[in-house]
Structure 1
Amino acid sequence: MAFCTEGHESTSTDYCDVCGAPIGMQFGSAAPHSALCPSCGAPSEGRFCENCGHDSALPAPPPAPPVKEVREDSTRTVGGAGDNGSADASVWVATVTADAAHFARMRAQKGPDLDRVDFPDYYPDRRIPLQGPNILIGKRSVSQGVHPDIDLSVAPADIAVSRSHAILHIEGATLTVTDLGSTNGTCLNDSPTPIPPKTPIPLQDGDRIHVGGWTTITLTTEPG
């Protein structure tokens, strides 16, 4: 019969069946020197560490992985977070305004519905942060199930904007605009010529999209 360091009889020959103390010393002998717990490093005399509960009969735990150093000069990415998910990534922002110059160009072209379009007396600028990847430009219609991300049905509404007029697409640092076959077309940067329908056109920071009779949407990047 074996005895543990606490004097208990044990059928096990390595650790006591009663208290878990190590086997190997006879009852009445001096207590062994304390060992260090392989898990937390605290002094431990029994099988189970009184500090963290580690079972010394089990293999020592693997070392903790090294802490990666976070670089302060993290990559700044347009349209989403960088590789390290930094908080200073940039986002695209659409600013919707009533544009008198665009209104004059459209009236001169005498396109569909433009004889019924009036320039609004008051139209406060609207800033809309873009949440990709696809952002629909148009006018809301509950009956047709159309719910644009940039909703131009807000009064005073531009009646020359189609329900599903155009769509912005964000992919990485690239932003494109595609006209969806709208009635009055989509123009860029004061050009009177509409872009080809159903064709993605790349955009740059500061580009302006002209839709409807007087609506201009300016795309810019801002810190996220």
Structure 2
Amino acid sequence: MTEPVCRACGHDADTGTGPRAVGVVPLGRTAVPAIPEAAGGWTVEIAPDRAYFARGENDGAVFPTAAAGRMIPLTAPRAVVGRRSRSRGRAPELDLSVPPLDPGVSRAHALLERHADGTVTVTDLRSANGTWLGPDAAHLTRVEAGGPRLVRAGEHVFVGAWTRLSVTNPPTGTRPGP
């Protein structure tokens, strides 16, 4: 059973009122960013991370041993990380509901934003299992819900049971941060 009111953004699916999560768009449609596009593109690598999974906060999920990472090029300055909602007909820009499906990821889990100065921030969208930031799975700090955190050079964003997100800013291919 699905909840009619989204815990992340307050949108009521039954009445169609209230805010929607930033960046969540109807399936099959193109996202229209709320702020101007950042100069150039950026890329997010999505990969399973065994060390993050081994921390044991995975509620019995099985690590996807045969899964490889994938690179997602982005042109809009914002990207929601989450899972698609077939019943509501929406999918985030960084859709983690494709194999290997990470069962610990919320529908609207986190927001990555690339700013005009090239820095990148992450905001937890009140996800059920939290969003973590750090250079590796052994050195993580929790991203508190609602407030953006700077993703510094060498840091990764960790979500769900095993997913590591690594941001690259072209054209130099450098990691974000000061």
Same fold, TM exceeding 0.5? yes
Task: Give, in whole Å, the separation in 2 of the partners of 1:199 and 1:146.
Answer: 24
Structure 2: runs of 5 or more not aligned: 1-36, 173-178
Asked whether the 8 Å contact 1:139–1:163 carries over to 2, the reply is yes
Q: 2:101 aligns with which of 152, 157, 164?
A: 157
Task: Give, in whole Å, the separation in 1 of the partners of 2:154 and 2:94.
Answer: 17
Q: How far off its partner does 1:155 sit?
A: 1.3
1:93-138: per-residue Cα shift (whole Å, max 9, x none)? 1101110010012x1xx4xxx2231100211211011222220100
| Correspondence for 1:86 | none
Q: 1:216 aligns with which of 151, 159, 164?
A: 164
Task: Give, in whole Å, the separation in 2 of the partners of 1:180 and 1:218.
Answer: 18
Aligned residues: 132
Residue 181 of structure 1 aligns with an amino acid whose one-letter code is R
Q: How far off its partner does 1:175 sit?
A: 1.5
Task: Give, in whole Å, the separation in 1 of the partners of 2:69 and 2:162.
Answer: 13
Q: 1:146 aligns with which of 90, 95, 99?
A: 90
Matches within 5 A, 1:21-170: 80-81=38-39, 91-105=41-55, 107=56, 110=57, 114-170=58-114
Residue 212 of structure 1 aligns with an amino acid whose one-letter code is G
Larger Rg belongs to: 1
TM value normalised by structure 2: 0.67
Q: 2:125 aligns with which of 161, 180, 183?
A: 180
Worse-superposed segment, 93-102 or 125-134 = 125-134
SS in structure 1 at match of 2:76: coil
TM value normalised by structure 1: 0.54
Structure 1: runs of 5 or more not aligned: 1-78, 82-88
1:60-108: per-residue Cα shift (whole Å, max 9, x none)? xxxxxxxxxxxxxxxxxxx843xxxxxxx5x321101110010012x1x
Task: Give, in whole Å, the separation in 1 of the partners of 2:38 and 2:122.
Answer: 18
Asked whether the 8 Å contact 1:94–1:218 carries over to 2, the reply is yes
Q: What is the aligned-residue RMSD (CA, Å)?
A: 1.9
Highest relative contact order (Cα 8 Å, sep 6+), 1 or 2?
2
Identity, % of aligned positions? 40
Q: How far off its partner does 1:205 sit?
A: 4.0
Task: Give, in whole Å, the separation in 1 of the partners of 2:167 and 2:54.
Answer: 22
Q: Kindly tell me: are residues 100 and 182 of structure 1, through their superposed partners in 2, closer, same or farther at Cα, counting changes over 3 Å?
A: same
